[in-house]
A and B are shown apart, each in its own frame.
Chain A
């Protein structure tokens, strides 16, 4: 099992450009999450999906959209990137509530 995979690993964007971060899990998990991690701020939840077909906002959803394409895949889209979105983005999945979260390797995004 690959666990949680994320693409790309690194990305540089110019302000105003758009992009989609991809995440997939092969553990048949119900819940999936997108976090961003910034120095001194810790992991902050952007969006999550408790099951296929549902998505909910987390702590910092502004400037992002998500799609739970199927049970395996959960994508994060930046429609118009801003320098404040420079961060490391982690996708995670869990079987359900109160379960361990499994994290992907992260995407390091720089917005110039």
Chain B
């Protein structure tokens, strides 16, 4: 069955550094991949979408890469700030389906 792995341990980094979160998947050939941010007690909020034929996508301080050979996506936050502290979820989408498969998320903590 399909499996998505995100680092279950929290990532702690210092303000100003670059945070890198990993999303690995098996037994799936996604058409696209999305990243969401979730704050405690709230629903996930969409950040970025990258399609299978795209290597990299950027939005302000965020960068996502997608390697379909390695079956991996990396999510980078440059010049991180304490306000970036949250849980980040990756989600895979297939062809001709509205369904997303979500990873369990990685909690990021940025300390001053």
Contact = CB atoms under 8 A, between A and B. Distances in A.
Bound pair (A, B): yes
B34 A41 contact: no
B44 A31 contact: no
B99 interface: yes
A100 B98 contact: no
Interface stretch (A14-22, A66-74, A75-83, A89-97): A89-97
Interface in B95-110: 96-105
Contacts of B44: 43, 90, 101, 103
Chain B's interface size range is: 20 to 34
B43 A106 contact: yes
A31 to B, nearest CB: 5
Given A4-B43, A97-B96, 13 more contacts: A40-B8, A41-B104, A42-B104, A43-B44, A43-B89, A43-B91, A45-B100, A50-B98, A90-B43, A90-B44, A100-B34, A103-B43, A106-B43
Interface of B: 4, 8, 31-32, 34, 41-46, 49, 89, 91, 93, 96-105
